[in-house]
Amino acid sequence: MNNGSQKAKDKYLKEKVDTFVLRVPKGEKELIQSKAASVGKSLNAYIVDLIRSDMNGKISVKEETKTPTVRKSSLPSFLD
């Protein structure tokens, strides 16, 4: 990709797309990618479609009830 098209891509992404990091246990990314490929979607499209379906009430993600845990490390809780 030349410098001009990279700049155009960067501008588009900055203006039109929000980005966030999704962390899954080691090995699960490959499992999710395989499932996405089996239904003809990219990993990103598969995850976005699942989220949209849940938000529209088409699927239901079971909510877990967690009991508070005592922090054992200095890592932020979202990295536990």
Give pLDDT, residue 65: 59
Query: What is d(CA 6, CA 77) in angstroms, rounded to the nearest whole number?
Result: 36
Identify whether 36 is part of a domain. Answer: yes
Identify whether 14 is part of a domain. Answer: no
Query: What is d(CA 50, CA 61) in angstroms, rounded to the nearest whole number?
Result: 10
Identify whether 11 is part of a domain. Answer: no
Torsion 44-50-54-56 (CA) sign: positive
Exposed/middle/buried for residue 33 (C-beta within 10 Å: 0-12, 13-18, 19+): middle
Identify whether 35 is part of a domain. Answer: yes
Model confidence pLDDT, tens digit, residues 27-48: 999 999 999 999 999 999 999 9
* Residue ranges in the chain whose pLDDT is less than 70: 1, 60-80
| Structure tokens, 1 | 């990709």
Structural domains in the chain (count): 1
Give pLDDT, residue 79: 63
Give pLDDT, residue 59: 73
Mean pLDDT of the chain: 85
Identify whether 2 is part of a domain. Answer: no
Q: Which domain holds residue 35?
A: 25-56
Identify whether 5 is part of a domain. Answer: no
User: In the block, which residue shows the tokens 């699960």?
Assistant: 28
